[in-house]
Structure 1
Amino acid sequence: MSLSSLFLNKYGPKPLTRLFRSPFISLVERRIINSSAEIRKNPDWIALIDNEEERKRWSEMAAEKFGTTPTDMEYIFEELAYYKTLQENCQGTMVLGGAGMVWVNDVPDDNQLLREVKHYAAVLEAHPKQKIELKDNATLMLIDPLLYPLDYELSHLLPSPIESPAAALRVSTFGDRPGSFEAWSKVVAELNKDIKTEDNIYTDCDQGNGFCWLPTDIRVNADGSVGIKSYINNLHPIHHSSFYATLSKVLERTIPLFEQVLTDLVHPTNVRVSVDDYECVHFTAPHPNDVDWDEVDLNVEEDDIWEAWEQGIVYTEPVPGAFVEPDRPLVPYSLRGEALQVVVEMKNMHLTPENPEYKPFRSHGVNRWQNSGIPNDNIVATSIWYYDIDNMDISGIEFRDPIGAYEELDYINSILEKKTFSYVYGESNDIGKGFGYEQVAGSTEIKSGRVVCFPNSYQYLRSSVKLADPSKPGHVKMLLFHLVHPGVRLPSTSIVAPQQQDWWIKDAFATSPLKGLPRELCHMIQQKVNMPMSLEKARKKYLDPNGLHLRYEGESEIYNTYIHYGDIIG
């Protein structure tokens, strides 16, 4: 069975952000996760794992930094032995990140593919119309999926799919305009008519957005190479055809990371520390309801009895059981031979001595967590390649995941239940505010050349970034791929013709029957016929203060409960 079929069987066709829920993670398990991640930061940990002196040093470090016990360390070393076997079966140099289901790969500075990406990034940076500077005065969008998106009101549907990226500018018609979310929902239903589901894939999506990302169709060949089958939104398929070839090679090296993440999602990690709340609680004083009040001194108040009972509660930490190897296959499921959809994004962050720090948008007074895209985009995983970092002080990526057992929180009303919960799972005054409950999943370090791939079941947090040396400028340059649910098909650039008017003016008019007409006449025709949107209108529509960027970020925020554990850039 293909990986896309396995994923579809596991989660169905609906957005992962609406489906995936994790079990509660105790504080004991949290320190096991953190200690293991800290050990795995050492690039030589696999070679050192059987060295007794090194194991002793790691144990001392974990005890000092995280409060890890000898029992915890026994579990950690058993799990690390499994991770060693898992990584020895990995393709290339990819390794586990600091959070579960997160995989990373470090690209060396002398890599030819890295040089190619930097070259084409410089080409885009030099193109005045290509760049979009956001109002934070720091972010420069080179390929922005929020510009010229699939607009449910305005976008057109081609009568048949295009054959190649370049063929997108040779279509003879823009096709029909469905004109509404409901009409595009029918298009989605037709694209996925072979999937057995009671509801349309768009059932849980928001009709009020009016837009979604427009993904690119790709094909993973039997040898692992990747073919880009339709144009990348906002990257000209003819003018930048050589960059398309480079992006194909980048995707070829990214697909194995996606395979690891999707395999992890199909086989989620079991809870390491099983918790029975009542086994963690012991009482040294009788419960007030069990007190024989006839024998109580008349000078003793009832409040004193309750206080004595509360102060007499003794808590015992849960302990990890024996390590059980996950049922996840050591070699991940393959995406070779699969047709996939991805959304491509490319952006820079530039800081200067005059603008030395980037502080992301905060909502309700706290840092804002978010997912990649919105439910309509049906993103299951994201890869971020930090291909160029210079003179920037950046923290690692922090992740959190939604908790599934909402009902377990609903009955935490008594003093005992609240105290027991806090002792086992930690304090969180914010838990329960918002649309769900979340918990920290872990963190992964950011450095130049690193690719970080993570599931969209996680929420991530944008952090403040500042210059390492405030007297000199600095930058972070990123290339992102957002992977659409592999078992479904969304409207893509195969069936939506390019919506950038300037592409057609330069190319379609040069090769169509209109070729040779005077420029003034061509301009008159452009004003009269239903041409695609101009760049100026697109920027005004999608990038104004009340436009697409802020609307998109607001939708991502629906999952937030404002429990802040760390920061992220990306």
Structure 2
Amino acid sequence: MSTASDVDAAADAQISRMLDQFEQMERPVAKPDWTFPLPFIPFSDLESDEACWGPSARTLAELRMYELSWAIRSKSGWETKIKDAQIMANWRAEATLQQEALLKPEKLTENMINFVLQELHSYAQLVDAKTGIQAGPFDAIWYSDRLLSSKLLSALRAEALNLEAIPHALKDWHPRSNGQVLDLVHPSLYPIVYGRTQSLSAAHIEIPTLHDKWRSSGSSSRRSPGSMSMSKKFCWLPSDFAISSTGEASLVSPYINNLHPQHHAGLYRVIEHVVGSFVPLFERVLSQINGSERDLLRHGQNDPPPGTGRIVRSRIFVTRMIGYDFKLAANEVPCIWLNGDTLFRDDFETVEAMYEAVERLPEAHAAYNGVLERSIVPYSLRGKTIQCIIKLANIHLTPENTEYAGGSWHVEGMLNERIVASGIYYYDEENITESSLAFRVTTTPPAYHAQDDEVCAEILYGMQRDSHCVQDIGSITTPSGRALAWPNIYQHCVAPFRLADSTRPGHRKIMAIFLVDPSLDPIPSATTTPPQQSEWARYALEEAQQDPNSVISKLPVELVHRICDESECAAGGRYVGRAEAEAIRLELMDERTVFVERRERVLSGSFNMCEH
């Protein structure tokens, strides 16, 4: 007589055979050419209000494990304290005690707590003693509180102050920022304007064409770029930096957009050093998005093999649709119902009763299994020329304007810029309360195990019917001196903060570096695009007029001034005057506001729980 275990083994063998047969089937596979994931839908026919676009959803249990790990790793000297058995025992007891007040599905199990504590030793191995670089609250978020030397930090502060030392009427307060955000260097001013901005060859820079090859049954086809993700008008202008074998950065481009190379030569040297300091941070970010789930068209199709993740998975026979590809979801988190019967919200009088009725919950592996180490596929920027978009900005608060309301959820740029990672250095602050940067990620719809099993989906993944496919993945405080880098597939949002003493002014100052995907062909940069600022042309003409060896010096002063005036007034010409540049910036901002709003609707499309 067959036992239950015999039946289970036979069923498992049958599923394995079906999986093998399924994998051998010839079917279309969408595979773009890029190496790293970008947060944009690349093709217009994939834009749908019901599209969920991103990596696989994590269970709430795993996200709570990340939260516990980060709470411990946020403690001062944690990497030393984990060597103390008594401290580890205290942390285990404290974490266990915290579970008592929670409902059953919210509790971390003993295995989960033990797994997190064991994993701390692997996190400690990733701490760079020289630079202070270490892992942040979630995969591919890295930070350091001593990335820059005190000498370099002082130089950055001093040189940036020179940008502020101008008459108040000339200061560039960012539009629609309530007079709080002061732009020192911002890529939205004097961007590339397609069809107008000229390259060094004097040809106008045109809208790029996305030539990604899609393999489909052995043939390749071309698809038009997504109308939502690709700007038809503008592109931020990066500068090129050569990275040496030891990680130092040297500016290749003749200028950084919106930063005059002669008037601010000292800041140029500082920026080179800061970019070089960020190289190991960016390398760590790229190394953790350089693995098996690296491109978004295949996210959700690469479930981890059994035994390799933090949460135990089972072989479950489920067919679902991912983009254009059917997939057999073999390794999934088991359903919360043991016997296959689905219970619904209406079956319970209270949420507490529903939670207590759950029959099976996710469980962590009994021992740490090296999941952190396996998530890293080393990637080096050494010996490459990288493209970086530079931004410097301050937030100023006053007794009349005491609170910064916080930012919006967003990623950086559009598909044109191909920004793969962002870095921020918080180089100065005064008289403000603690601030933080929060992260979330758009995911593919989670696999569920019966149609309309909304209770299971909510308890396992925190998603309800018609909710957005978005998961919060942590936040990190941003004190002065902290350097932070993360992949652009994560949305981020600045938390509110206010004056600590409302009778005095306060500020926060940052330098941001947006890294263009180094695995792709370069986009137009300051190396191939002459400056567009008409005032820079005026400076050059006036300097040449003072040089006795220059042909310009032979011209009458009145003629030189007329040339300068006409270069600023020539609408649609090669040079752009300040008033026109500010008008272009508003148009760019309007375009990207629409993009952010539509991306919010499309990329975090609703989880409709239809059978796929």
Q: Map residues 114-513 of structure 1 onto 2, 5 A cutoff.
A: 114-128=153-167, 131-134=171-174, 135=176, 136-159=178-201, 175-178=202-205, 180-181=206-207, 184-185=208-209, 199=222, 206=229, 209-230=232-253, 231-267=255-291, 271-275=309-313, 276=332, 278-282=334-338, 313-321=357-365, 322-326=367-371, 328=374, 332-360=378-406, 368-404=408-444, 406=445, 408=447, 414=452, 417-428=453-464, 431-432=467-468, 437-488=469-520, 489-508=522-541, 510-511=543-544, 513=551
Shift of 1:108: 8.3
Between the aligned partners of 1:220 and 1:484, the Cα distance in structure 2 is: 14
Aligned counterparts of 1:282 and 1:140: Cα–Cα separation in 2: 58
Secondary structure class of the residue paired with 2:241: strand
CA 1:304/1:376 → structure 2, altered by over 3 Å: closer, same or farther?
Answer: closer
Match of 1:49 in 2: 82
Mean alpha-carbon deviation: is it higher for 234-243 or for 56-65? 56-65
Amino acid at match of 1:46: E
List alignment gaps of at least 5 residues for structure 2. Answer: 1-30, 43-52, 100-106, 213-218, 294-303, 314-331, 545-549, 605-612
Give the match for residue 27 of structure 1. 60
**Matched AA of 2:291:** H
CA distance, structure 2, for counterparts of residue 385 and residue 499 of structure 1: 28
| d(CA) in 2 for partners of 1:460, 1:334 | 25
**SS of residue matched to 1:476:** strand
Counterpart CA distance in 2 for 1:11 and 1:344 is 23
Q: For the residues of structure 2 that align with 1:311 and 1:551, how far apart are their CA atoms? A: 45
CA distance in 2, matches of 1:33, 1:83: 12
TM superposition shift of 1:480:
0.3
Aligned length: 497
1:83 CA displacement:
1.2
Structure 2 partner of 1:71 = 111
In 2 relative to 1, CA 130–498 (structure 1 residues): closer, same or farther, beyond 3 Å? farther
Judged with a 3 Å threshold, the aligned counterparts in structure 2 of structure 1 residues 86 and 150 are, in CA distance, closer, same or farther, namely: same
Distance 1:502 1:28, change over 3 A: same
**3-state SS of the aligned residue for 1:514?**
helix
**Deviation, structure 1 residue 130:** 6.8
Distance 1:311 1:479 in 2: 46
- Render the CA deviation track for 1:362-393: whole Å, top value 9, x for unaligned: xxxxxx31101112110000110011121112
Deviation at 1:15, TM superposition (A): 3.7
Residues 105 and 452 of structure 1 are in contact (CA less than 8 Å); yes or no, is this contact kept in structure 2?
A: yes
* C-alpha deviation, 1:466, in angstroms: 1.0
Q: Which stretch shows the higher mean deviation, 211-220 or 49-58? A: 49-58
Structure-2 residue corresponding to 1:568:
none
**Other-structure match for 1:365:** none
Normalising by the residue count of structure 1, what TM-score does the alignment of the two structures yield? 0.78
CA distance in 1, matches of 2:561, 2:56: 60
Contact 1:264 1:328 in 2 (8 A): no
Answer yes or no: is the 8 Å Cα contact 2:131–2:147 preserved in 1: no
CA contact (8 A) 1:259 1:334 kept: yes
Aligned equivalents of 1:146 and 1:558: distance in 2? Answer: 20
CA distance in 2, matches of 1:260, 1:386: 19
Structure 1 residues 310 and 375: CA distance shift in structure 2, 3 A: same
589, 601, 604: which one aligns with 1:549: 589
| Contact 1:96 1:102 survives alignment (8 Å) | yes
Cα distance, 1:243–1:268 mapped onto 2, change above 3 Å: farther
Distance verdict in 2 for CA 1:330–1:506, change over 3 Å:
same
CA distance 1:238–1:202, change in 2 (3 Å): farther
Q: Give 3-state SS (helix, strand or coil) of 1:57's partner.
A: helix
Could you tell me which amino acid in structure 2 is paired with residue 273 of structure 1?
I
Question: Is 1:40 aligned to residue 83 of structure 2?
Answer: no
Which amino acid in structure 1 is aligned with residue 244 of structure 2? Answer: N
Q: Which residue of 1 aligns with 2:47?
A: none
1:98 aligns with 2:137: yes
CA contact (8 A) 1:14 1:204 kept: no
Structure 2 counterpart of 1:532, from 565, 575, 585: 575
- TM superposition shift of 1:428: 4.8
Identity of aligned residues (%): 28
Q: Do the aligned partners of 2:182 and 2:394 also contact (CA within 8 Å) in 1?
A: yes
Q: Deviations over 1:16-52 (max 9, x none)?
A: 5448822221121111100000110123111111312
CA distance in 2, matches of 1:199, 1:13: 20
Q: Cα offset for 1:240?
A: 1.0
Q: Deviations over 1:385-436 (max 9, x none)?
A: 01112111233211111213x3747x9753xx1011111122557623xxxx
Shift of 1:305: 12
Check 1:333–1:393 CA distance in 2 against 1; reply closer, same or farther (3 A cut). same
Question: Could you say what secondary structure the match of 2:61 adopts?
Answer: helix
Unmatched segments (≥5 aa) in structure 1: 1-7, 160-174, 190-195, 289-302, 362-367, 564-570
Report which stretch shifted further, 460-469 or 94-103: 460-469
| 40-49 or 57-66: bigger deviation | 57-66
Query: For 1:9 and 1:201, how far apart are their aligned partners in 2?
Result: 13
Name the CA shift for 1:459/1:108 in 2 (closer, same or farther; >3 Å).
closer
Distance (Å, rounded) in 1 between the aligned partners of 2:197 and 2:593 = 22
CA distance in 1, matches of 2:228, 2:481: 35
Q: Distance in 2 between matches of 1:305 and 1:102?
A: 40
The verdict on how the C-alpha distance between 1:131 and 1:304 changes in structure 2, with shifts beyond 3 A counting, is closer
Cα separation, 2, equivalents of 1:304 and 1:457: 39
State TM-score, norm by structure 2: 0.73
Q: Shift in Å at residue 513 of structure 1?
A: 3.4
CA apart distance, 1:283? 5.8
Amino acid at match of 2:94: M
SS at match of 2:79: helix
2:299 aligns with none
Report if the CA contact (8 A) 2:433-2:498 is conserved.
yes
Counterpart residue type for residue 359 of structure 1: A
Q: Per-residue displacement from partner, 1:190-214 (whole Å, max 9, x unpaired)?
A: xxxxxx9965896677455410110
Q: Which residue of 1 aligns with 2:4?
A: none
